[in-house]
Amino acid sequence: METKGASASGIVAILFVTGLVAQAKPDFSGTWTLIAATDKSGDLMKTREVRLIALLQWDPETITIEGQKMTVSKPFETLVYMLDGTPSKDEEAGYVLTSKWEGKTLVTTMVFEDSITMSGKQIEKRRIGADGTMVVEMSGSRDQTLVYKKK
């Protein structure tokens, strides 16, 4: 009889641990290199365009995570994402980032207003693909998908 109780407890423990692993959030930490980009129509951007985007804005991305704070360092800017839903504001750049988890995808809303150049809203969905790449889908002021490979 005790054997049945022990094995039932073991099964419950395995199911609990499996559930925790399935719910684990992806770790975006590391340095990522842009390998592909698609525009809003889904067409792969030309190699020259990808290189230009990479050089100007997104390559490489170095991500560090400390507690509920994720810092994304790019060549010309550093973004701070609060992973607990707390808005983070960048006074100099004129935008507010608010992030929340939807399953294993980090969804960030960026609201920006710069009276000189632009104003609007951008939605960014960041996830780890099945092949280990980091996929960043953007919609709003920029509609595109960026795919990164970890260095």
As a whole number of angstroms, the distance between CA 140 and CA 151 comes to 29
Mean pLDDT along residues 110-138: 84
Structure tokens at 122: 């951008």
pLDDT at res. 46? 55
As a whole number of angstroms, the distance between CA 28 and CA 69 comes to 12
Over the stretch 70-101, which tens digit does the pLDDT of each residue have? Answer: 998 877 778 889 999 999 988 777 789 999 99
Residues 42, 33, 134, 121: is their CA dihedral positive or negative?
negative
pLDDT at 113 over 80: no
Sheet holding 144-150, edge to edge: 78-82, 69-73, 61-66, 30-38, 144-150, 134-140, 118-128, 105-114, 95-102, 88-90
Are 99 and 81 in contact, with CB atoms under 8 Å apart? yes
Over the stretch 66-75, which tens digit does the pLDDT of each residue have? Answer: 989 999 887 7
3-class DSSP assignment, residue 145? strand
Instruction: Say what the pTM is.
Output: 0.73
Are 37 and 147 in contact, with CB atoms under 8 Å apart? yes
Are 69 and 85 in contact, with CB atoms under 8 Å apart? no
3-class DSSP assignment, residue 64? strand
What is the separation of C-alpha 151 from the centre of its chain, rounded to a whole number of angstroms?
16
